[in-house]
Amino acid sequence: MLRSPLSSAGYPRSTNFRNERFQNAEPAFHGGFAQGAASFWRFMTKKSPDSVPKRAIVVVRAMDRASLETAPDNSLWRLGHSTVLMKLAGKFWLPDPVFSG
């Protein structure tokens, strides 16, 4: 198991931190197989009322090299979930939030 070199001593007191671990505030599901199977069946077969957007979806604009190169410094483009492309001092930066340490 990997452990952080930092201790928990610097954290403010939390009611969810017990026995050197953080605990879930809400209890885990304990409904049994039948209730779990019924929930899964509803999830797979019933249409959620939120499955259709309430307002228009934002149109994604295509990017091309010319528009990137002519963009001013300090420009930022959101490429997806948590990935951004930045133009800083004439150079492009694509940080990786998953593997950054």
**pTM score over 0.75:** no
pLDDT level of residue 52 (50, 70, 90 thresholds): confident
Mean pLDDT taken over the chain = 83
Residue whose pair of structure tokens reads 């010319």 in the numeric block: 66
Backbone region of residue 20 per phi and psi (left: phi > 0; alpha: psi in -120 to 50; beta: other values): left
Identify the bridge partners of residue 91 per DSSP, sorted by sequence position: 88
pLDDT at residue 1, as a whole number: 47
Tokens of 86: 């930045």
Q: Is the pLDDT of residue 35 over 50?
A: yes
User: Mind listing the pLDDT tens digit for each residue in 78-90?
Assistant: 888 888 999 999 9
